[in-house]
Amino acid sequence: MKIFIDTADINEIREIKDLGILDGVTTNPSLVKKTGRPWKEAVEEILKECAGLPVSVEVVATDTEGMVREARELARLGDNAVIKIPCTEAGIRAVKALSAEGIRTNVTLVFSPLQALVAAKVGATYVSPFIGRIDDIGYDGLAVLEEVISIYEVYGVETEIIAASIRHVDHVRRCAELGVDIATIPYKVIKQMFRHPLTDVGLERFLKDAQEAGIQI
């Protein structure tokens, strides 16, 4: 499973990239707002820092023409820019046009397998089911993700699935079990993936025994 970080914070991106586990970045307008930085400056810095890795950047227009125009501008900011387009009818038309131009897209705000199906039909590079937000309204986000995965498998769809809106480490574990292509994970959750209380307890005991046995390397 590829690991993307779901953030617009350059320091979080740098730290996870330095760990050697980062395969890409996803941003959205809310995440950029959280950084408090001017939008263009934040996005350009991420694209530069992550040269060679896909970085999803979202349009804000809601009509097809506007989305396509914004997408073309964003695509010019870096070879690694992937354009996030919301899963609306206007968005699907925009993805169709952008696919024909060879501009990579990530269809976002996907909450059902049928939305994922139409996104694939118009050649989306990625599709992002939002599992946490589905859980938030009392449904099962992972079940929706599983349906998307099986439908894509049946038809040999090439669009890659990004499990998005991940809230905790158990979401990540289940995503990996389901064999999803990519999980885009918030910084705090990525950090938790390294940790287990038994590792801390075990290490403490080994270090104590090493000291008592006079082990020095």
* Catalytic site positions: 84
Binding-site residue total for ligand G3P (CB under 6 A)?
Answer: 9
Instruction: Give the range of 44-52, 130-138, 168-176, 203-211 binding ligand G3P by CB under 6 A.
Output: 130-138
Give the count of beta carbons closer than 10 Å to the beta carbon of residue 152. Answer: 21
Contact 24, 53 (CB under 8 A): yes
- Give me the residue label for tokens 């403490």: 204
Distance CA 145, CA 18 (A): 30
Closer of 5 and 92 to ligand G3P (Cβ):
5
Kindly state the helix (H) or strand (E) to which residue 131 belongs, with its residue range.
helix 131-136
Instruction: Give the range of 10-18, 34-42, 125-133, 170-178 binding ligand G3P by CB under 6 A.
Output: 125-133
Strands, DSSP E only, in the chain?
2-6, 24-26, 55-58, 81-86, 105-110, 126-129, 160-163, 182-185
Least CB distance to ligand G3P at residue 142 (A):
14
Q: What residues contact residue 16 under an 8 Å CB cut-off, 6+ apart?
A: 5, 22, 187, 190
Instruction: Give the range of 8-16, 75-83, 88-96, 126-134 binding ligand G3P by CB under 6 A.
Output: 126-134
Least CB distance to ligand G3P at residue 65 (A):
24
What would the x/- binding string for ligand G3P be over residues 138 to 177, using CB under 6 A?
--------------------------xx------------
User: Quick check: 6 binds ligand G3P (CB under 6 A)?
Assistant: yes
Distance CA 90, CA 82 (A): 18
Least CB distance to ligand G3P at residue 177 (A):
19
Which positions lie near ligand G3P, rule CB under 6 A? 6, 26, 28, 130, 132-133, 164-165, 184
